[in-house]
Chains A and B, each alone.
Chain A
Amino acid sequence: AQSVTQPDIHITVSEGASLELRCNYSYGATPYLFWYVQSPGQGLQLLLKYFSGDTLVQGIKGFEAEFKRSQSSFNLRKPSVHWSDAAEYFCAVGGSGTYKYIFGTGTRLKVLA
């Protein structure tokens, strides 16, 4: 079955600390992987995406993610978190030609001053 798992429902980090949000997927074909961020009451903003090529992907706002096929993972990282990064983060998987995404349940990030 196709699915996306974000094991951490909530994560709290101090401002300036590093961050890693986990995402594991199950997908029958070559996956296209995405990370989106959602601020309260807002839509989703694309942080980064992976289709092919270099497995370390750089995104906006200083985020990066690494695709590890052997572990079926696509974890999101940021070396130094800012208070404005507090939001909900969603990992999604899609496939070429399907144009449908499967979303994870999200990870809510809280940043302590």
Chain B
Amino acid sequence: GAVVSQHPSWVICKSGTSVKIECRSLDFQATTMFWYRQFPKQSLMLMATSNEGSKATYEQGVEKDKFLINHASLTLSTLTVTSAHPEDSSFYICSARTGLYTDTQYFGPGTRLTVL
């Protein structure tokens, strides 16, 4: 149980284009999803918290206009990197809470984004 998937697993795009990454909870409803960014050989940095049906809450320093997050249903959240540039290249990981009263997050397999 508590499986989270991400699509695509890797993507290469040209500078200036937009890329959408999907995060799905496969066997549970996720009231809250989280988006992290991980640079090579570094830890995870929380980018934003996404609650179903409401606007995402972004961490300090994260550009909300560049990283658009939509949590339209209890099983799907999307992260769109708009006008991507090489410095946006990174490993993006989502996670989800399994319920309102649980503090455990389950993580997706991640998406490797390379911007040329």
Contact = CB atoms under 8 A, between A and B. Distances in A.
Interface of A: 32, 34, 36, 41-46, 49, 51, 90, 94-96, 99-101, 103-106, 108
B44 A103 contact: yes
B71 interface: no
Interface residues of B, number: 22
B54 interface: no
A41 B112 contact: yes
A19 B56 CA distance: 40
A42 B4 CA distance: 12
Given A41-B110, A99-B97, A46 B44 contact: no
Top-4 shortest CB links A-B: A44-B107, A43-B109, A43-B107, A103-B43
B32 A36 contact: no
Interface of B: 4, 6, 32, 34, 41-44, 46, 49, 93, 95, 97, 103-110, 112
B103 A94 contact: yes
Contacts of A43: 4, 6, 93, 107-110
Label chain B's interface by main secondary structure.
strand
Given A99-B32, A99-B49, A100-B49, A45 B43 contact: no
A34 B34 CA distance: 16
A96 B103 contact: yes
A32 B103 contact: yes
Nearest to B32: A99
12 contacts: A41-B110, A41-B112, A43-B6, A44-B107, A46-B107, A90-B43, A94-B103, A99-B49, A99-B105, A105-B42, A106-B42, A108-B41
Nearest to A4: B43
B4 to A, nearest CB: 8
Contacts of A34: 104
Given A100-B49, A103-B44, A49 B109 contact: no
B71 to A, nearest CB: 14
